[in-house]
A and B are shown apart, each in its own frame.
Chain A
Amino acid sequence: MAAKRATTKSNVSGEELTRFYRDMLLIRRFEEKAGQLYGMGLIGGFCHLYIGQEAVVVGLESATEDGDKRITSYRDHGHMLACGMDANGVMAELTGRAGGYSKGKGGSMHMFSKEKHFYGGHGIVGAQVPLGAGLAFADKYNGNGRVTFTYFGDGAANQGQVYETFNMAALWDLPCIFVIENNQYAMGTAQARSTSSQDIYKRGEAFGIPGEMVDGMDVLAVKDASERAVKHCRSGKGPYILEIKTYRYRGHSMSDPAKYRTREEVQKMREERDPIENVRQLLLTGKHASEDDLKAIDKDIKAIVNASAEFAKESPLPDEAELWTDIYA
């Protein structure tokens, strides 16, 4: 990835920049807390953290309108926080408690919010891609002008159903933005070892779907790309592909020792390209915020995250009768 710093070229106000900082920081602090609760045994099973990738969802969400939909796979905590879902409800789902978004029955990988148009949270790599196109299909059928953000990773990009979906999405002009979050490792397999041609955004060409590569460590670049994609989809021109180059700092899941990459590689990315630090510098150098302003935001976020952890610990286990509910509508 080109070592390109965020610029102020993007049409962004200090207010919006501050919101990006706040939203990305919330995800990072939330995920750090989730990692800690996992370590304490309060979160079970698999837990995939979004740390490092924050600029992707925050940048994309900046171009959404009310009623637009989003769907992703199991690295989903960031998407939920970015679309306005409540941190308490997300954390309590991670701890498997009654106060979670799925009443404790879904867990980290399977969470939903009809109210916020978040359609999961899916555990099968790639399966969310046709599902996302289906959401877009429903919107087109209803003629409501909504678009769907369908997120998947560089690993999922090799699933066959992705290309079945590209074909039909293009054939039927579905208002679907395919967001490939390329964090460069499909679990432990580097992209070069799994993917024959490295530019995944070009894979829509065969279907006539325009695509572009975006620097996912730069929230302003993501915002700009998101606006282009939304404009394309909303005007009825069919699907759009954004390959967003990003990087996860943590392992694939909590139990990943991450021996497939060097500590230096991770450290370098953190020091030179961190999306949050990047915006922090823009805020300070652009005199949009003072150190004290940012400290106040940090304090706020810490309070939200700590409150969510408390809520997630205090919320009761689901009632045993819940075992037998929600199987049939």
Chain B
Amino acid sequence: MATEILMPALSPTMEEGTLAKWLVKEGDTVKSGDILAEIETDKATMEFEAVDEGVIGKILVAEGSEGVAVNTAIAILAEEGEDVSALEAAPAANAGTKTASTGGSEAAAPARAAPPEAPKPDLSPDWPEGTPMKTSTVREALRDAMAEEMRANESVYLMGEEVAEYQGAYKVSQGLLDEFGAKRIIDTPITEHGFAGIAVGAAFGGLNPIVEFMTFNFAMQAIDQIINSAAKTLYMSGGQMGAPMVFRGPNGAAARVGAQHSHDFAAWYAQIPGLKVAMPYSAADAKGLLKSAIRDPNPVIFLENEILYGRSFEVPAIDDFTIPFGKARIWREGSDVTIVSFGIGMQYALEAADKLAEDGISAEVIDLRTLRPIDYDTVIASVMKTNRCVTVEEGFPVGSIGNHLSATIMQRAFDYLDAPVINCAGKDVPMPYAANLEKLALVTTDEVVAAVKQVTYR
């Protein structure tokens, strides 16, 4: 039976092309792989090969023809011995190109009306009243979280630079090698890209790796594996396999280590669907969130802070204490302004709230704790109450978490705002080394106080 040879699409964007030259003529016998014609696409001149074998019955489009639409019949291929004289061109181009396309533009979400009522955030306490507490540094809390989860699940292991014999560059993994041995506490060579990729592969293979980056600055070497491999595979595989793992380590500025060792990546990772992102401030949150992160079936970015490692907080002394992702913590209730922060930014937020109280300004301070998912409801409900908002973070100001929150507040609580939201952030400069300049580059408590005074018109 005769078949039509159709004008092929030879690039992702080609809709029509020029049939530059026929390399076969009517009556020629062709087999799979033979070159039939040269076709000029929007990008290049391409050779067009036969797929089926047969005899060129009729050439329907002459060489030199321009603007030949994809899927137009350009020749008829007959079987050996078939009478081709009676063959006619079938009606031109079928709709093959259209069937697979889905309109992309109409997918844009319609503008939504602002909800008239305040959301009802989850305000349940993180632990029951009367729970015994113990004092713990953030460092100890992180180690305890890892040790507890490793005791509970044989598939959890820790890998990174200096995590085992050196006991951790910042001593977060102190003692873990002794308890769990070299099979599960693994020193890696200094090859972030490589060991991050190996850990993602191990997660595909059923393990639950914890990858420690000595600092997140070095994770830039590995960011392709974190985003392209860890975050996207569940989606690309239609849900068949993902990367249940944690990438953790200190993030942001420490002190006097200059531009390459002081970067806060919170906003970068928070942008990626498929990742979860936590950035705790207190020791209790560090422990509870890290335990949740290790159990989570998704890749989690866990952003710690070197300056906070040695800070002590009260941690509930209960077995199996976890903090859920996507639940902010209200550290301090207030009525005049909402200050939203996370990670070490909380230090400035809380200090500012103390100072503001002295001036008779009552600030509500919210710690987001996780940046993906973000607990928008707690923020919106608070802003609807206080009508003013200041955000605080250490990262760069362009495309920051504060920018995103401002947009969300504008969409969901525009009518409640009595002043524009102000974002306090790090300065838009690489981190300088000199002590005085470094101080200027970081966000400060005084800046937060000034911002609050601005939005409260004091």
Taking beta carbons and an 8 Å cutoff, which residues of A are in contact with B? Answer: 32-33, 35-36, 38-46, 69, 71, 95-96, 100-106, 110-114, 119-124, 127, 129-139, 141-142, 160-161, 164-165, 167-168, 171, 249-251, 254-255, 257-259, 263, 270, 313, 317, 323, 325-329
Determine whether B228 belongs to the interface, using a CB cutoff of 8 Å to chain A: yes
Instruction: Give Cα A114–Cα B242 distance, bound, in whole angstroms.
Output: 11
Determine whether B114 belongs to the interface, using a CB cutoff of 8 Å to chain A: no
Instruction: Give Cα A327–Cα B231 distance, bound, in whole angstroms.
Output: 8
- 17 A-B pairs besides A41-B97, A102-B236, A133-B197 with CB distance below 8 A are A32-B32, A41-B70, A46-B12, A96-B100, A101-B237, A103-B238, A105-B236, A112-B233, A112-B237, A120-B233, A132-B201, A134-B203, A134-B205, A141-B157, A161-B194, A168-B195, A328-B274
Instruction: Give Cα A131–Cα B233 distance, bound, in whole angstroms.
Output: 12
Determine whether B423 belongs to the interface, using a CB cutoff of 8 Å to chain A: no
Q: Which residues of A contact B198 (CB under 8 A)?
A: 130-131, 133-134, 137, 165, 168
Asked if A33 and B51 make an inter-chain contact with CB atoms under 8 angstroms apart, the answer reads yes
Determine whether B411 belongs to the interface, using a CB cutoff of 8 Å to chain A: no
Instruction: Give Cα A19–Cα B205 distance, bound, in whole angstroms.
Output: 30
Q: Which residues of A contact B206 (CB under 8 A)?
A: 138, 142
Q: Which residues of A contact B46 (CB under 8 A)?
A: 251, 255, 257
A-B contact pairs, 6 of them (CB 8 A): A38-B9, A39-B7, A112-B238, A134-B200, A171-B189, A255-B41
Total number of residue pairs linking A and B with CB closer than 8 Å: 215
Determine whether B47 belongs to the interface, using a CB cutoff of 8 Å to chain A: yes
Instruction: Give Cα A6–Cα B98 distance, bound, in whole angstroms.
Output: 46
Q: Which residues of B contact A43 (CB under 8 A)?
A: 100
Asked if B194 and A102 make an inter-chain contact with CB atoms under 8 angstroms apart, the answer reads no
Give the contacting residue for B229; candidates A122, A270, A323, A329; CB below 8 A: A122
Determine whether B207 belongs to the interface, using a CB cutoff of 8 Å to chain A: yes
Once A40-B71, A42-B96, A134-B205 are accepted as A-B contacts, the answer to whether A124 and B235 lie under 8 Å apart by CB is no
Asked if A329 and B244 make an inter-chain contact with CB atoms under 8 angstroms apart, the answer reads yes
- What residue in chain B is nearest A134 (Cβ atoms)? B201
- What residue in chain B is nearest A163 (Cβ atoms)? B194
Asked if B237 and A130 make an inter-chain contact with CB atoms under 8 angstroms apart, the answer reads no
Quote the shortest CB–CB distance from A81 to chain B (angstroms).
17
Q: Which residues of B contact A161 (CB under 8 A)?
A: 193-194, 197
- What residue in chain B is nearest A31 (Cβ atoms)? B51
- What residue in chain B is nearest A115 (Cβ atoms)? B240
Asked if B10 and A39 make an inter-chain contact with CB atoms under 8 angstroms apart, the answer reads yes
Instruction: Give Cα A130–Cα B225 distance, bound, in whole angstroms.
Output: 9
Instruction: Give Cα A17–Cα B51 distance, bound, in whole angstroms.
Output: 25
Quote the shortest CB–CB distance from B408 to chain A (angstroms).
19
Asked if A131 and B9 make an inter-chain contact with CB atoms under 8 angstroms apart, the answer reads no
Determine whether B43 belongs to the interface, using a CB cutoff of 8 Å to chain A: yes
Instruction: Give Cα A121–Cα B229 distance, bound, in whole angstroms.
Output: 11
Q: Which residues of B contact A45 (CB under 8 A)?
A: 12
Size band of the B side of the interface? 35 or more
Quote the shortest CB–CB distance from B341 to chain A (angstroms).
25
Asked if A164 and B205 make an inter-chain contact with CB atoms under 8 angstroms apart, the answer reads no
Asked if B8 and A39 make an inter-chain contact with CB atoms under 8 angstroms apart, the answer reads yes
Asked if B191 and A168 make an inter-chain contact with CB atoms under 8 angstroms apart, the answer reads yes
- What residue in chain A is nearest B196 (Cβ atoms)? A130
Asked if A134 and B234 make an inter-chain contact with CB atoms under 8 angstroms apart, the answer reads no
Quote the shortest CB–CB distance from A126 to chain B (angstroms).
9
Once A130-B201, A139-B205, A329-B244 are accepted as A-B contacts, the answer to whether A36 and B51 lie under 8 Å apart by CB is yes
Instruction: Give Cα A21–Cα B210 distance, bound, in whole angstroms.
Output: 45
Quote the shortest CB–CB distance from A240 to chain B (angstroms).
17
Once A39-B10, A164-B194 are accepted as A-B contacts, the answer to whether A135 and B96 lie under 8 Å apart by CB is no
Quote the shortest CB–CB distance from B357 to chain A (angstroms).
40
Once A124-B228, A329-B242 are accepted as A-B contacts, the answer to whether A134 and B235 lie under 8 Å apart by CB is no
Within 8 A of A (CB), among B167-226: 183, 188-189, 191, 193-207, 224-225
Asked if A135 and B183 make an inter-chain contact with CB atoms under 8 angstroms apart, the answer reads no
Q: Which residues of A contact B233 (CB under 8 A)?
A: 112, 120
Instruction: Give Cα A110–Cα B234 distance, bound, in whole angstroms.
Output: 11
Asked if B201 and A254 make an inter-chain contact with CB atoms under 8 angstroms apart, the answer reads no
Q: Which residues of B contact A119 (CB under 8 A)?
A: 201, 204-205, 241
Give the contacting residue for A138; candidates B7, B207, B237, B297; CB below 8 A: B207
Binary per-residue interface labels of chain B (227-265) against chain A in the complex, 1 for a CB within 8 Å, 0 otherwise: 011000111111111101000000000000000000000
Instruction: Give Cα A122–Cα B237 distance, bound, in whole angstroms.
Output: 11
Asked if B196 and A326 make an inter-chain contact with CB atoms under 8 angstroms apart, the answer reads no
Asked if A102 and B205 make an inter-chain contact with CB atoms under 8 angstroms apart, the answer reads no
Instruction: Give Cα A173–Cα B196 distance, bound, in whole angstroms.
Output: 18
Quote the shortest CB–CB distance from B404 to chain A (angstroms).
18
Q: Which residues of A contact B273 (CB under 8 A)?
A: 327
Asked if B194 and A165 make an inter-chain contact with CB atoms under 8 angstroms apart, the answer reads yes
Q: Which residues of A contact B241 (CB under 8 A)?
A: 112, 114, 119
